[in-house]
Structure 1
Amino acid sequence: MKKALRVAVSQLNTITGALNENVKNLEQGIALGHEIGADALIFPELCLNGLNCQGLSKNRTFLRETRRTIDEIIQFSKGKQPLIVFGFLEAEEDCHYSSAGVIQNGKWLGSYRKIVIQPENDGVDTAFFSSGEEGIVLNIEGIKAGIVIGNDLWDRYDLISSYDRYGVCVLFHLSAFTFLSGEYAESEQRLFSRSKDFEMGIVHANAIGGQDQWIYSGNSMIFDGHSRIKARGKMLEEDFVVADIELPLRGRKAETRATRCGLRFQEWPVKRIDCDFSASFKPEINSKIYDYPEDESAAICAALQLSLRDYVGKNRFEKVVLGLSGGIDSAVVAALSVASLGRERVVGVIMPSKYTTEASVKDAEELANALQIKTITLPIDDLMDSYGDVLGTEVELKAGSLCEQNLQPRIRANLLLALSNHNGWLVLTTGNKSEWACGYTTLFGDSAGGFAPLKDLYKHQVYALGRTLNQALGTPAITENHFSKVPTAELYPGQTDQDRLPPYEEVDPIVRLMVEEGYSADEVVKEGFREESVRKVWKMYLRSEFKRRVSPVGPKLTKVSFNGEQGLPITQQWV
């Protein structure tokens, strides 16, 4: 015997700590769920409090306000059709949980506490959370639904097996999975496999939005009891996902698929709650299965736009400011900023020195004109001379010396930060992952700022992103000069990046193996790379951790970004 269930997911972009605003968003979702006749409405993990609350998780006032806002949601739900399952921060004595609250028609029915607490790429700051100890089964007039959060679905096979034994035919899965380059479609395959393994429907409600370095990808999905995808939400955008799914009515089982295969697990304690099947009217709905981005660069472009837009907006900045050098990195950050925020919220600053070529100034000016952004030109030669006068005989600023090279980006950083202080603008840095890995940046110079959009992007990806942005903006603002010129910081006559680094064609794959795959220099050499290049990059990587530790936060796109994840010591004598 089968029964149809109309399920909906409100894929929300919430703001950490903004309880009142988040409640309004939840209430809008509840109203829409009622309007379309949803039997069950699922929200993402921690949607009430916001993600990565960190120390707020233990703030007593914040927890008290959380309870108050839950009471508001309960009151709002009176007379509304859907069974509501939403993510919130729960506290009991000294323990704190990522929990799923269950509400229906003005009544609090109970909560489920996330069991698997693991920080690696979970998208949730788990350092403050404890593990739950029981499952929950909702009986919706014969349809039994289990609740799981995050990695519970993958890593607690025993819990899902217990649900199977209790006759569960659909799982409500609250999550906050993040965007990772090249892996954003992986969740769908895992959801399909889990649905097929247990012949259960799955309602996957995933968070969306930028929060510090994290980018939550959305892509909420609904699978029916035959593992068929019935709806897929938008990627990297807010959405309301709805579908009708047919589910088998099951009783308690003496044997499950797992036990038939000879697998034995502990029996999880399960709390059972009876719910009403109150959806009396069912207007026609339009379930959609949205496609993934057409290529990897388009996906990265969309992810970075969301990250930058949310970082600027949620931190209440009106505008961003960045230095325009005429090079590819600053051109891409400027174009990304316009695509994310609009041209009126982007300011470019051209800061030429005696080593800056006329061609670079022209490229920077033409970029700004094409993007139609405000520009400020602040030459730094007089400031360089002033430093020389002040330092006097203590430091001789010889042309091309390391001291003279590093003073130039530090002067530029001071100018950008002065504009930031005066106007309240956010300073964007323009370094990429290849440069950060090698320490090819000036401490408190070009590395200084409030947000680093390209921090987890390799140099070759920066070029690809530039072409994608030209398409997105509908104009070749980033010209062929930007793409074809030899990379250089122009800190002394004739300088190129390859004076200090191997070619980026070598640097990028070497860095990826070292940082993301954990290869040693010897292991990288065995992969066929030139030993001289590998040893050079290895040494620069291990000796530049002190620079990365004080770098601004940037969007996380890979499994190991430079947001404190690589775990290197600053002080070491390995190399």
Structure 2
Amino acid sequence: MKIALAQLNPTVGDLRGNCQRILEAVQRAEQAGAELVLFSELVVCGYPPKDILLREGFIAACDRAVEKLAQEIPVNIGVIVGHPTGRGLRGRRMANAASLLYQGAVVECVHKLLLPNYDVFDEQRYFRHAELEQICPVTFRGLKLGLHICEDAWWGQPDTFYHDQPVQLPDPVRILAEAGSDLLINISASPFEIDKRKRRQQIIQSHVDRYSIPYLFVNQVGGNDDLVFDGHSFVLDQNSQLQLQMASFKEDLQLFDTEAAVESPLEISPLSRDEQLFDALVLGLRDYMQKCGFTDCVLGLSGGIDSALAAAVAAEAIGPQHVHGLLLPSRYSSDHSVVDSLALAENLGIDYETVPIDSVHQAFENLPVIGDDLREAPAGLADQNLQARIRGANVMVRSNQHGWMALATGNKSELAMGYCTLYGDMAGGFAVLCDVLKCDVYLVSRYVNQRAGRIVIPENILDKAPSAELAPNQVDQDSLPPYDVLDGILKGLIEDERSVRSMSEQYPRETVQWVANRLDRNEFKRRQMPPGIKLSARAFGSGRRMPMAARFHWDEE
């Protein structure tokens, strides 16, 4: 059987648009000779649909869309699509389903058993577990298809919700394999994290090693809110050899022939860390803007590394003609910051304007009461934050006037430490670098130049000491540990949930304690930051739910 894997980029809630994309992919697959086409998890409504699932009439609309899709698909080809369903179910709980559409009808429907409820996943809020007796192969043209959905392949993995449950749910893949499946098929919406592709392939390979059954894995691609889906759909044969590898970070459609002679396994060069991060940032920003209806964006260009990388990502994502920079020098801005910003804008080919902020700064100093406060501590915290807020206000004026999306440019290291200003540099509609540690900002920035084969981000921006330039002779390392130390501690505390005691085996305890206290104390700021792109195992946002009004003494751990 010739089976097409269709790696699509759906938009959440857009039933009509998503079904049209499905039909177009089916047409291409049919022309290529496919007998069966596989689509990703919840492709009909897009993943993650979140609380739109709870809207009255939405699930019924999804069921109608699937039935209509079945009628519009050519009768000689089978199609497997993921969708939410309430068909045949009682109560409010719906199912996360995969249906086989053939000859004008929905001929089979399977439900997801393992519903993830960790990190960004919240599926038990909406869906019901599959009934165990319903977990069985789907027969199509003489083949038994072991069809299952995303997390059903992750049973027993140590970082999932199912490895330590008091009542252990069974392994769906084992059930399907032991029921005589000829092929194992997993349709997924598996979000990107660094090296997630390798992890998925290891998990699928472990199933093939155990059961010696070919395995087809089809994944969603594209950005939806804070999640990016990298695609990377693939096929392993019964010997765990890679027979098909689909594109990364873009839509794709490829065929796998179950009867074809087994060729030499594919050799795939892994993507480097910097390449993965850049591709994910570009796709995440592009899709967020397009799916929200934005054509252009605006951001402040400080002459620093963060705004430089944010501008480069934006130029790649939506085209330099749609990126608008604002140079907003203050009395403390160095000459090289302005020169570097101008060089960056010219190198990228983006639109830019220079708007000095000192006259506005002086106007605040001349106000009664407020001016007195500012004069008490020139270049103090209130004065520094005021400058950031003046800059933020300028960016927002351009955003409001022209309908451009404002980009916030703070990185994960700064957001972790509260080294950012509410309603200042945190102002914006999207925080493109919010899950990129400072050391990775430099890594990806150098990749931008390497990828272009020329200087895009000026070398002076890459080489100079980072500074907010809100006070005389200010540099970041006056207030923060060296970034290589800080990032190592933050990764341990945030992504690995390690303790101060544990981290103090690698770093000075006093430094670790200071970082941990700052991290906790600034949760209120992060709660107010714009959405951004999840790139790591633990990003600030929906997957990390920390209290704001809390107090924990790290010396009591």
TM-score, normalization by structure 1: 0.89
The equivalent residue for 2:444 is 465
Shift of 1:107: 1.9
Q: 1:391 to 1:192 in 2, by over 3 A?
A: farther
Alpha-carbon distance between aligned partners in 2 of 1:287 and 1:74, rounded to the nearest angstrom: 37
Shift of 1:157: 5.3
The equivalent residue for 1:213 is 226
Alpha-carbon distance between aligned partners in 1 of 2:478 and 2:254, rounded to the nearest angstrom: 53
Q: Does 1:531 align with 2:509?
A: yes
Q: 1:136 to 1:33 in 2, by over 3 A?
A: farther
**Structure 1 range deviating more: 466-475 or 374-383:** 466-475
The alignment-based identity, stated in percent, is 31
Measured against aligned partners, the alpha-carbon deviations of 1:270-303 in whole angstroms (never above 9, x if no partner) come to xxxxxxxxxxxxxx9x999583554111111111
The equivalent residue for 1:518 is 497
Measured against aligned partners, the alpha-carbon deviations of 1:404-444 in whole angstroms (never above 9, x if no partner) come to 01101111111111111111111111111111111111122
Q: 1:126 to 1:412 in 2, by over 3 A?
A: farther
Measured against aligned partners, the alpha-carbon deviations of 1:471-504 in whole angstroms (never above 9, x if no partner) come to 3334312111011111100001001111211111
**Structure 1 range deviating more: 169-178 or 140-149:** 140-149
Q: 1:456 to 1:344 in 2, by over 3 A?
A: same
Q: 1:442 to 1:366 in 2, by over 3 A?
A: same
Shift of 1:306: 0.7
Alpha-carbon distance between aligned partners in 2 of 1:566 and 1:22, rounded to the nearest angstrom: 30
Shift of 1:71: 2.6
Shift of 1:45: 0.2
Measured against aligned partners, the alpha-carbon deviations of 1:365-400 in whole angstroms (never above 9, x if no partner) come to 111011111002111111112222234365233321
Q: 1:289 to 1:390 in 2, by over 3 A?
A: farther
Q: Does 1:436 align with 2:431?
A: no
Q: Does structure 2 conserve the Cα–Cα contact (< 8 Å) formed by 1:232 and 1:288? A: no
Measured against aligned partners, the alpha-carbon deviations of 1:204-242 in whole angstroms (never above 9, x if no partner) come to 111001011111110111223333322111111110021
**Structure 1 range deviating more: 86-95 or 10-19:** 86-95
Shift of 1:519: 1.3
The equivalent residue for 2:45 is 49
Q: Does 1:174 align with 2:153?
A: no
> What pairs with 1:7-406 in structure 2 (closer than 5 Å)?
7-79=3-75, 81-91=76-86, 92=89, 93-121=91-119, 127-133=125-131, 134-155=134-155, 158-246=171-259, 291-392=268-369, 395-397=373-375, 398-406=377-385
The equivalent residue for 2:432 is 453
Alpha-carbon distance between aligned partners in 1 of 2:333 and 2:171, rounded to the nearest angstrom: 64
Alpha-carbon distance between aligned partners in 1 of 2:481 and 2:449, rounded to the nearest angstrom: 28
Q: 1:75 to 1:142 in 2, by over 3 A?
A: closer
Given residue 108 of structure 1, which amino acid in structure 2 is its aligned partner?
A: V
Alpha-carbon distance between aligned partners in 1 of 2:141 and 2:66, rounded to the nearest angstrom: 25
Given residue 372 of structure 1, which amino acid in structure 2 is its aligned partner?
A: G
Q: Please give the secondary structure, in 2, of the residue aligned with 1:355.
A: coil
Given the alignment, which residue of 443, 459, 466 partners 1:480? 459
Q: 1:242 to 1:123 in 2, by over 3 A?
A: farther
Alpha-carbon distance between aligned partners in 2 of 1:534 and 1:50, rounded to the nearest angstrom: 41
Q: Does structure 2 conserve the Cα–Cα contact (< 8 Å) formed by 1:516 and 1:560? A: yes
The equivalent residue for 2:166 is none
Q: Please give the secondary structure, in 2, of the residue aligned with 1:171.
A: strand
- Structure 2 regions of 5+ residues with no counterpart? 156-168
Q: 1:309 to 1:218 in 2, by over 3 A?
A: same
Alpha-carbon distance between aligned partners in 1 of 2:73 and 2:232, rounded to the nearest angstrom: 26
Alpha-carbon distance between aligned partners in 1 of 2:533 and 2:266, rounded to the nearest angstrom: 27
Q: Please give the secondary structure, in 2, of the residue aligned with 1:567.
A: coil
Alpha-carbon distance between aligned partners in 2 of 1:489 and 1:122, rounded to the nearest angstrom: 32
- Structure 1 regions of 5+ residues with no counterpart? 248-283
Given residue 533 of structure 2, which amino acid in structure 1 is its aligned partner?
A: P
Shift of 1:58: 1.8
Q: 1:141 to 1:47 in 2, by over 3 A?
A: closer
Alpha-carbon distance between aligned partners in 1 of 2:264 and 2:301, rounded to the nearest angstrom: 45
Alpha-carbon distance between aligned partners in 2 of 1:306 and 1:141, rounded to the nearest angstrom: 38
Shift of 1:554: 1.1
Alpha-carbon distance between aligned partners in 1 of 2:140 and 2:238, rounded to the nearest angstrom: 16
Q: Does structure 1 conserve the Cα–Cα contact (< 8 Å) formed by 2:5 and 2:38? A: yes
How many corresponding residue pairs?
533
Given the alignment, which residue of 395, 411, 422 partners 2:390? 411
**Structure 1 range deviating more: 101-110 or 324-333:** 101-110
TM-score, normalization by structure 2: 0.91
Shift of 1:165: 3.1
Given the alignment, which residue of 525, 543, 550 partners 1:547? 525
Given the alignment, which residue of 524, 546, 553 partners 1:568? 546
Alpha-carbon distance between aligned partners in 1 of 2:424 and 2:521, rounded to the nearest angstrom: 18
Measured against aligned partners, the alpha-carbon deviations of 1:243-282 in whole angstroms (never above 9, x if no partner) come to 11249xxxxxxxxxxxxxxxxxxxxxxxxxxxxxxxxxxx
Measured against aligned partners, the alpha-carbon deviations of 1:525-557 in whole angstroms (never above 9, x if no partner) come to 112x12232122111111110001111111111
Alpha-carbon distance between aligned partners in 1 of 2:283 and 2:314, rounded to the nearest angstrom: 11
Alpha-carbon distance between aligned partners in 2 of 1:124 and 1:239, rounded to the nearest angstrom: 28
The equivalent residue for 1:271 is none
Measured against aligned partners, the alpha-carbon deviations of 1:101-126 in whole angstroms (never above 9, x if no partner) come to 11112121121111111133576755
Q: Please give the secondary structure, in 1, of the residue aligned with 2:171.
A: helix
Alpha-carbon distance between aligned partners in 2 of 1:510 and 1:566, rounded to the nearest angstrom: 17
Shift of 1:144: 1.0
The equivalent residue for 2:468 is 489
Q: Please give the secondary structure, in 1, of the residue aligned with 2:431.
A: coil
The equivalent residue for 1:264 is none
Given residue 522 of structure 1, which amino acid in structure 2 is its aligned partner?
A: R
Q: 1:122 to 1:83 in 2, by over 3 A?
A: farther
Shift of 1:39: 2.6
Given residue 510 of structure 1, which amino acid in structure 2 is its aligned partner?
A: I
Alpha-carbon distance between aligned partners in 2 of 1:329 and 1:434, rounded to the nearest angstrom: 11
Given residue 326 of structure 1, which amino acid in structure 2 is its aligned partner?
A: G
**Structure 1 range deviating more: 309-318 or 290-299:** 290-299
Q: Please give the secondary structure, in 2, of the residue aligned with 1:483.
A: helix
Q: Does structure 1 conserve the Cα–Cα contact (< 8 Å) formed by 2:217 and 2:234? A: yes
The equivalent residue for 1:266 is none
Q: Please give the secondary structure, in 1, of the residue aligned with 2:426.
A: coil
Q: Does structure 2 conserve the Cα–Cα contact (< 8 Å) formed by 1:7 and 1:203? A: no
The equivalent residue for 2:158 is none
Q: 1:496 to 1:504 in 2, by over 3 A?
A: same
Q: Does structure 2 conserve the Cα–Cα contact (< 8 Å) formed by 1:406 and 1:445? A: yes
Given the alignment, which residue of 524, 528, 534 partners 1:556? 534
